[in-house]
């Protein structure tokens, strides 16, 4: 931790040099929070299975200035997860780059750089940036805010509907070990509708890379938001991400977290249902083998009456991989007529694989419908025997059963074409083929 305090103190002017003044305003306060709290403590209640201080103890280099050659990277990397997008963008080592040949977005929509947004729309930036993350006083989010130099913003004005998905491709590229800080700010005014896909990739599988990410999502009254994040990174990658979501009345939000290939991943999701009749679907799918580690931590806070949440996380863990899930649903006093359902299902493919699960309910209201459950096991031997008795080879039968296990999460994705593309990638993953997003080079 001390090395990062020294780095910030010594290079603060360089960090701020290329940033908008409003982006820099939040930096000093965030740094003081980080100096006071440090990284989340390993083995604490919320970080039982992810050692953040240990992961970031090594000397990672920082991108303190935009690399001159980065502008060419997006041109050599084409992610085609979706058949048709409204807008494509890239985050290359923490800096925003627009995709090629983007069609004009509806009037008033902003999709672009965090710095540009701060300069063009200072009032909106001040009203939303770092507002949700600041409330948690989380040391990891404070660290990100202290060091971040750019990011991506999507602002959709009131009642504007974007039909085709927005796609953001996050790239970690370089031949030297680096620590990258990313930022996403997604603002949906009342009645707005949009779909966002975020794809995470690494360009050099031999280089150790670490990335922190803070994503803040504001869903206004009656808005409809789909947010899907997919990770296909190298075994040398460390990903530490925090997602903060606030939903107003009658908003409809679906969040999907898909981890297909990674090194060490920790995802935090904190959702506040702050308006009546808000609905949330939070789902995750993890496929892990070798020595991969994936840790998902969720908090869903029902603050007002008449809201619904459905949470489903599924893990398929093989070889010496480790999975962890900690889910917490809080029903506040007075939040009557809440419906909250939480499910965690896990499939272990070897004796060495490990899965840790901790579903939790905290209910302070008496007129609610809530449930939580967890199941961990192996492939159903009866189903396997039945399939083999029908002439299906054992390897193929296991493949089909694993594929069927993933469908509950994939079927819940509302982005046209994305569910089929993800199924295709999952099939390749199970067949042991090289994992790369279709069209990526």
The pLDDT tens digits of the residues spanning 52-76 come to: 999 998 878 776 655 544 455 554 5
401 and 256 share one domain: no
DSSP code string of 22-36: HHHHHHHHHHHHHHH
Domain boundary among 275, 294, 325: 275
Q: How many domains does the chain have?
A: 2
Say whether pLDDT at 91 is over 60. yes
Which helix (H) or strand (E) segment holds residue 421: the answer is helix 418-430
Q: Looking at the domain assignment, is residue 367 inside a domain?
A: no
Quick check: 154 pLDDT over 90? yes
Query: Quick check: is 251 in a domain?
Result: yes
Q: Give kind and range of the element (H or E) at residue 374.
A: strand 369-377
207-225 confidence digits (pLDDT tens)? 899 999 999 999 999 999 9
Residue 283 lies in a domain: no
Please say which residue of 275, 308, 323 terminates a domain.
275
Query: What's the pLDDT tens digit per position in 393-420?
Result: 999 999 999 999 999 999 999 998 899 9
- Enumerate residues 6+ apart whose C-beta is below 8 A from 276: 249, 250, 304, 305, 306, 307
Does residue 337 lie within any of the structural domains?
no
* Whole-number Cα distances in Å, 137 to 31, 130, 134, 148, 244: 11, 11, 5, 17, 12
The whole-number average pLDDT for the span 343-364 is 96
138 within some domain: yes
Domain assignment of residue 250, yes or no: yes
In this prediction, residues 138-152 reach a mean pLDDT of: 95
Would you say residue 71 lies in a domain? yes
pTM of the model: 0.94
Dihedral (CA of 99, 173, 315, 404) sign:
positive
Longest dimension (CA), the chain: 70
End position of a domain, from candidates 258, 275, 292: 275
CA distance 36 to 139: 8
List, for residues 178-202, the tens digit of each pLDDT value. Answer: 999 999 999 999 999 999 999 999 9
Tokens of 228: 């899907």
Q: Are residues 24 and 144 in the same domain?
A: yes
Query: Is a pLDDT exceeding 70 seen at residue 285?
Result: yes
Mean pLDDT of the chain: 91
pLDDT at 1: 80
Q: Is 354 part of a structural domain of the chain?
A: no
Q: What is the pLDDT of residue 237?
A: 96
Measured at the alpha carbon of residue 230, what is the angle toward residues 90 and 195, in degrees to the nearest 5?
70
| Exposure on the CB side of residue 349, measured as CA atoms within 13 A | 20
Beta bridge partners of 59: none
Please tell me whether residues 264 and 385 are part of one structural domain: no
Domain of residue 137 covers 2-275
pLDDT of 70 reads 47
């Amino acid at each position: 931790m001390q090395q990062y305090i020294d780095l910030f103190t010594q290079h603060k002017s360089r960090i701020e040099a290329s940033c908008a003044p409003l982006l820099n305003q939040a930096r000093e306060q965030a740094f003081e929070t980080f100096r006071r709290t440090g990284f989340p403590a390993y083995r604490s209640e919320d970080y039982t299975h992810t050692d953040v201080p240990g992961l970031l103890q090594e000397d990672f280099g920082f991108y303190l200035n935009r690399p001159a050659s980065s502008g060419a990277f997006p041109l050599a990397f084409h992610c085609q997860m979706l058949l048709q997008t409204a807008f494509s963008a890239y985050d290359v080592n923490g800096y925003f780059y627009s995709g090629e040949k983007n069609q004009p977005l509806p009037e008033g929509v902003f999709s672009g750089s965090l710095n540009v947004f701060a300069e063009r729309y200072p009032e909106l930036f001040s009203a939303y940036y770092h507002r949700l993350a600041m409330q948690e006083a989380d040391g990891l989010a404070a660290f990100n805010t202290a060091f971040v130099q750019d990011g991506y913003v999507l602002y959709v004005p009131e009642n504007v509907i974007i039909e085709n998905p927005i796609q953001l491709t996050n790239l970690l590229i370089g031949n030297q070990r680096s620590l990258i800080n990313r930022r996403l700010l997604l603002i949906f005014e009342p009645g707005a509708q949009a779909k966002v896909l975020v794809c995470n990739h690494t360009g050099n599988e031999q280089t150790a890379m670490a990335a922190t990410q803070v994503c803040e999502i504001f869903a206004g009254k009656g808005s409809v938001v789909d947010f899907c994040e997919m990770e296909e990174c190298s075994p040398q990658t460390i990903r530490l991400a925090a997602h903060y979501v606030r939903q107003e009345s009658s908003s409809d939000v679906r969040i999907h977290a898909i981890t297909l290939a990674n090194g060490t991943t920790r995802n935090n999701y904190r959702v506040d249902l702050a308006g009546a009749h808000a609905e949330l679907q939070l789902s995750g799918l993890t496929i892990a083998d070798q020595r991969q580690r994936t840790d998902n931590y969720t908090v869903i806070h029902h603050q007002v009456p008449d809201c619904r949440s459905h949470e489903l996380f599924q893990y398929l863990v093989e070889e010496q991989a480790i999975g962890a899930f900690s889910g917490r649903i809080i029903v506040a006093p007075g939040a009557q007529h809440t419906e909250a359902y939480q499910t965690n299902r896990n499939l272990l493919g070897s004796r060495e694989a490990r899965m840790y699960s901790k579903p939790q309910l905290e209910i302070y209201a008496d007129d609610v419908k809530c449930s939580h459950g967890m199941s961990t096991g192996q492939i159903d031997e009866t189903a396997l025997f039945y399939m083999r008795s029908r002439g299906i080879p054992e390897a193929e039968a296991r493949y089909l059963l694993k594929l069927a296990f993933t469908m509950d999460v994939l079927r819940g994705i509302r982005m046209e074409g994305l569910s089929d593309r993800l199924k295709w990638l999952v099939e390749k993953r199970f067949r042991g083929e090289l994992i790369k997003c279709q069209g990526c080079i």
